[in-house]
Structure 1
Amino acid sequence: MTDKFIIRFVAAVTIFVITVVIVLNRHLIPGPAVAPAFTPYLPMLNAVLNGTCTVLLLTSLYFIKQGNIKVHKRLNIITFCLSSLFLVSYILFHYLMRNDTLYGDANFDGVLSPAERAAAGGMRTLYLSILVPHIVLAAGVLPLILLSFYRGLQMQVEKHKKLVRWTFPIWLYVTASGVVVYLMIQPYYHF
């Protein structure tokens, strides 16, 4: 495979994934009339997958610093697979919840007293200050992950290192902030 093909493939996958997420968030595709019973568990699954990926990324960094390429590569393959599973689960959740308004959002609904409303306003600001970069970086890191993964599997070490200088911290932020976002919004889910 040529670099030109790989770059086109990565661009196509990235555009497809971002398009699907935008379409789902804009409610352009109707979901089922009633979400399946397992649907409320998907956000927790996503948080567990993100948390696991965070630990695996840090562990992978440790092993490459020790010069253990074999373990580093295996951990990154597992992380890539779990991140892919996360993406499928995330898309599935947002598809299944299209017609269901009983899940939480960034408005932190359900807070009643004036003091609680004020606290929720501050919490909402903090939540959005974590969520917005999480979303932007999640979209931006996808092509970096795909290219880094490809370069690493092909043992194109110098190209892999150059990409990973950017990919690693962004991917780490996305996985860790995904857990934080879940923990912040979880009390406001109304399943």
Structure 2
Amino acid sequence: MEDNSLEQKFSKFIIIVSIVIPVVVAILFGVKLKDFGYNVEPLSFLPPIYATINGMTALVLIAAVLAIKNGKRILHERLMASAIALSVAFLVMYVAYHMTADSTKFGGEGTIRYVYFFILITHIILSIAIIPMVLITYVRALSQKFDTHKKIAKITFPIWLYVAVTGVVVYLMISPYYV
């Protein structure tokens, strides 16, 4: 009974966070601090940092799966908490960069342009979808509902890994076009 109440307790939070984060990011993506009279230099040093954080997230996710497969539950828990923290750090830096700099246009032509936009669009869509999935997976672990945790984790892991890896790929593909 306690497990259900913990999951129910967090369900409204998960719904709210899953809606608020993408909406706030979309709004802040369009906000430029210079338009409000702030003389802020573009944080142009951030893209390689947040791309690296995406790469680190991917590695931490893989390490976490290996840890749980080897029966190292505490290590798995710590790695998953680290993956969430890295994702939050990425998000903060990503928004900060886009609030201080104009968007960079991809300059590739031909087939590579279609590949880039396919990767970018799937990355964006799945980065929104992964928010509630990560939170639900995490709450089920906190609730010690490991059977349902494991079921959703098998779906959450590859999607989160895809988002982390494609974040790096998108950065590598667009980095030659940064001003």
User: Does the pair score TM above 0.5?
Assistant: yes
Quote the offset at 1:189 in angstroms.
Answer: 0.4
**Alpha carbons of structure 1 residues 3 and 155: separation in structure 2 relative to 1, 3 Å:** closer
Q: Which amino acid aligns with 2:72?
A: N
Q: Which aligned pairs between 1:21-170 and structure 2 lie closer than 5 A?
A: 21-25=25-29, 27=30, 29-32=31-34, 33-36=38-41, 39-97=43-101, 101=102, 104-106=104-106, 108=107, 120-170=109-159
As a proportion of its length, which structure holds more helix?
A: 2
The percentage of aligned residue pairs carrying the same residue is 34
SS of the equivalent of 1:90 reads: helix
* 1:177 maps to 2:155: no
Quote the offset at 1:36 in angstroms.
Answer: 2.9
Q: Which runs of 5+ in 2 are unaligned?
A: none
Quote the offset at 1:6 in angstroms.
Answer: 0.9
Quote the offset at 1:45 in angstroms.
Answer: 1.1
Quote the offset at 1:34 in angstroms.
Answer: 4.0
**Which residue of structure 2 lines up, in the alignment, with residue 12 of structure 1?**
16
Figure out how many residues of one structure are paired with residues of the other and give that number.
172
Q: Which runs of 5+ in 1 are unaligned?
A: 109-118
Q: Structure 2 length normalisation: TM-score? A: 0.89
Quote the offset at 1:138 in angstroms.
Answer: 0.3
- Distance (Å, rounded) in 2 between the aligned partners of 1:155 and 1:181: 36
Q: Structure 1 length normalisation: TM-score? A: 0.83
Q: Is the 8 A contact 2:32 2:98 kept in 1?
A: no
Quote the offset at 1:2 in angstroms.
Answer: 3.7
Listed one character per residue, the Cα deviations across residues 102-158 of structure 1 (whole Å, up to 9, x for unaligned) are: x5223x1xxxxxxxxxx6232211111111100000000001111111222332211
Q: Is the 8 A contact 2:7 2:139 kept in 1?
A: no
Q: Which amino acid aligns with 1:133?
A: T
